[in-house]
Amino acid sequence: MGLNIKQRKKVEDILKLNNYTDYKWTDPKKIIVSQWVRMKCKFGCGEYGRGGACPPETPAVAECKEFFNEYEDAVILHFEGLMDKPEDRHTWSARINNKLVQLERAVFTAGFERAFQLFMDSCSFCKDCTGSRETCEKPRMARPAPEAMAVDVYTTVRQAGFTINVLTDYDQKMDRFAFLMVH
């Protein structure tokens, strides 16, 4: 069903106020959640098991699908980045993720009590993550990335009208996507 025009405008006003201009709305039921994404996390990502907002600290794939089905609307936010060094990505991500937590809070206090943000990259707030939700130093700020929730970001953002490609070199501009869940 989705938000009505007045509700969407309210969220868009918050986005604009916070300088977010590169975004698209999508139906959360169109967000592709797949087991293969979890397998890529488990067997291919250095963050697996080391982050309190990364698998295995996140729900099972079936629970992730259920999570998205509980929402009426979602905003996909696009971020572009070009790093001098690959490790600069973490500082860039932490800065953006901090602003995304503030965005979630602003949408929440505007009357959307189910507002929930999925970061555009792993949490990155702490230099040394404890790797556990129980011992997380910033549990009120930590959020999973879409991939940690088994989201097939490539297919999902392409069907929403964004361009995204697999990068072959760190000299290439990155396209990152965050998801703001709204109800």
Structural domain of residue 89, as residue ranges?
A: 5-182
33: β partners: 151
Nearest to 24 by CA among 163, 183, 165: 163
Share of the chain above pLDDT 90, in %: 72
Q: Taking 80 as the threshold, does the pLDDT of residue 69 lie above it? A: yes
Token pair in block for residue 175? 């396209």
131 — pLDDT class (breaks 50, 70, 90) = confident
Pairing assessment for the beta strands 23-26 and 116-118 based on DSSP bridges: unpaired
pLDDT, tens only, 134-152: 877 787 888 999 999 999 9
The helix (run of H) or strand (run of E) holding residue 108 is: helix 88-109
User: How many separate domains does the chain show?
Assistant: 1
> Which phi and psi angles does 152 have, rounded to 5°?
-80, 90
pTM above 0.85, yes or no: yes
- pLDDT > 70: percent of the chain: 99
Higher pLDDT, 171 or 17: 17
Higher pLDDT, 140 or 22: 22
Q: Could you tell me the pLDDT band of residue 114, with boundaries at 50, 70 and 90?
A: very high
